[in-house]
Amino acid sequence: MEKIVINGANKLHGEVKISGAKNAAVAIIPAVVLSDGVCRIENIPNIMDVNLIAKILQEMGAKVQRPNKTTLEIDPRGIKNPVATYDLVRHMRASSYLLGALLGKFSRAEVALPGGCDFGVRPVDQHLKGFAVLGAKHIVEGGMIKVKADKLVGGHIYLDVVSVGATVNIMLAAVKAEGRTTIENAAKEPHIVDLANFLNSMGADVRGAGTDVIKVNGVKRLNSTTYSIIPDQIEAGTYMAAVASAGGNVLIQNVIPKHLESITAKLREMGVIIEEYDDSIRVIKDKRLKRCNVKTMPHPGFPTDMQPQIAAILTMADGTSIVNEAVWDNRFRYVEELRRMGAEISVDGKLAVIEGVEQLEGAPVKATDLRAGAAMIVAALGAKGTTQIEDIRHIERGYEDVVEKFRAIGADIRRVYSNDPAVQTA
Ligand code: EPZ
């Protein structure tokens, strides 16, 4: 079993380049199914979730090539059967996007119920409600969701909750439906806008992405395209949090500063200096962090996917902070792990109260999910002594070359096998 081992409290310096956005890539790759030609997608992050979804398409009959590390060329024309079995999709939440894409293409789809990060109930009722408005019926049978329509016809959908997944899935199903589909109370995340731009580059007519009303005018055909994915907002935010934890001065490159505003505002409130440039930001931390309160919200609020990382740095801030997780029911499982490092956190339902300590101390910890794992790295970089992080496969689902990138900015971090004597003695 592999672990990440970090000797903390080394200041970070230099430059780091952010990869393409995971949550855009895992929506855009299934969207290729809708095309009648070859799609070339650039700025693809080389991470497990993206490689998995590309492999699923390949096993369904698509031709997938990787002409270089950050580009995928996908020819979906070999996909004839709109069925994705449990064996193919079980590790990935975002495989549910195949439902919308296959439904949009074939007017029917069968996809095994999704897996992915476990932080509370992850319903798909809003996705199915959208499909129903478009004329598709669903049943759940043998662990598969099966959706089918005689013909997809546009309609008016008002989402009960702001859901990224439902917004994506309904856009995918609607793009070739007859007439206009209107999605109200739609999610506004940057990856929703990126998906809309990608679909439009294939010839779709999607308007309003980035606002809470999205209008999709159905088209008959989608064509080949070349498209470059936006940079990853959460990867960038994680490096920002890491500098806030360890201290130092780092230029974070290949970012869209606008996408980072809610994170930037919170870090500034904590006393971190952030300079914004066209496609990079500089993060400087030279004194102890101040406490602050954080509430997660759909975009443009503070992202839930940055909640564990910001909590990790608040454990070392001066004073008491309150973190309110307003998106997911159970996203505090990592707190137990931070406590091993000396953090003082109490959790009551969706609230965590954090009493800042001077500094955390290294300890053996686990990555309980993707962002929880990122939070362990962030905490360990600011902690005294050695931290060993187990279950790093969760981290590798979403962070490209995480060890190499941190090492390049001066972190004492390495990946080791657990039978490596260095780990046992560390
Ligand atoms: C996406 O998940 C992201 N995943 C998650 O990021 C992220 O945490 C989440 O959006 C919120 O920003 C991808 O983009 C692949 P939702 P998704 O549907 O689409 C409720 C990461 O770390 N809901 O926006 O599954 C739901 O229970 C991952 O990169 C319903 O009630 O999230 C939750 O409380 C983890 N009914 C809220 O909406 C539904 O039908 C938001 O969920 C759908 C959702």
For the CA of 161, the closest atom of ligand 1 is: 38
Same domain? 224 vs 235: no
pLDDT of 425 higher than 90 = no
Q: What was the pLDDT predicted at 117? A: 59
Instruction: With cut-offs at 50, 70 and 90, classify the pLDDT of residue 143.
Output: confident
Residue ending a domain, among 209, 228, 247, is 228
Same domain? 240 vs 187: no
Same domain? 269 vs 141: no
Residues 364, 348: Cα–Cα separation, whole Å: 25
Has 117 been annotated as catalytic? yes
Q: Domain tally for the chain?
A: 2
pLDDT of 119 higher than 90 = no
- Centroid of ligand 1 to alpha carbon of 290 (angstroms): 30
pLDDT of 313 higher than 80 = yes
Residue ending a domain, among 199, 228, 257, is 228
Same domain? 222 vs 264: no
Is the CB–ligand 1 distance for residue 307 below 6 Å?
no
Instruction: With cut-offs at 50, 70 and 90, classify the pLDDT of residue 126.
Output: very high
The CA-based dihedral angle spanning residues 139, 144, 145, 148, taken in that order and rounded to the nearest 10 degrees: -70
What angle, 0 to 180 degrees and rounded to 10, lies between the N-to-C axes of helices 22-31 and 97-106? 20
CATH number of the domain residue 29 falls in: 3.65.10.10
- Centroid of ligand 1 to alpha carbon of 134 (angstroms): 22
Q: How do residues 353-396 score in pLDDT, each as one tens digit? A: 999 999 999 999 999 999 999 999 999 999 999 999 999 999 99
Q: What was the pLDDT predicted at 280? A: 98
* DSSP secondary structure code for residue 11 in this structure: P
Same domain? 390 vs 377: yes
Residue ending a domain, among 175, 204, 228, is 228
Is the CB–ligand 1 distance for residue 161 below 6 Å?
yes
Residues 113, 140: Cα–Cα separation, whole Å: 9
Same domain? 69 vs 163: yes
Q: What was the pLDDT predicted at 223? A: 97
Q: How do residues 280-302 score in pLDDT, each as one tens digit? A: 999 999 999 999 999 999 999 99
Ligand 1 atom 16 nearest Cα: 163
Q: What was the pLDDT predicted at 142? A: 85
Share above pLDDT 90 across residues of the chain, in percent, rounded to a whole number: 89
Which residues are paired to 182 by β-bridges? 156, 215
Same domain? 316 vs 382: yes
Same domain? 70 vs 213: yes
Same domain? 281 vs 168: no
Same domain? 131 vs 114: yes
Instruction: With cut-offs at 50, 70 and 90, classify the pLDDT of residue 424.
Output: very low
pLDDT of 254 higher than 90 = yes
Q: Which of 89, 164, 195, 232 to mutate to test the pocket of ligand 1 (most atoms within 8 A of CB)?
A: 164
Residue 388 structural domain: 2-18+231-425
Residues 394, 277: Cα–Cα separation, whole Å: 32
pTM beyond cutoff 0.85: yes
Instruction: With cut-offs at 50, 70 and 90, classify the pLDDT of residue 1.
Output: confident
Q: How do residues 72-114 score in pLDDT, each as one tens digit? A: 999 999 999 999 988 878 777 678 899 999 999 999 999 987 6
Starting at the edge strand that comes first in sequence, how are the strands of the sheet with 63-68 ordered? Answer: 63-68, 71-75, 39-42, 225-228
Q: What was the pLDDT predicted at 229? A: 98
3-class DSSP state of 93: helix
Average pLDDT, the chain: 95
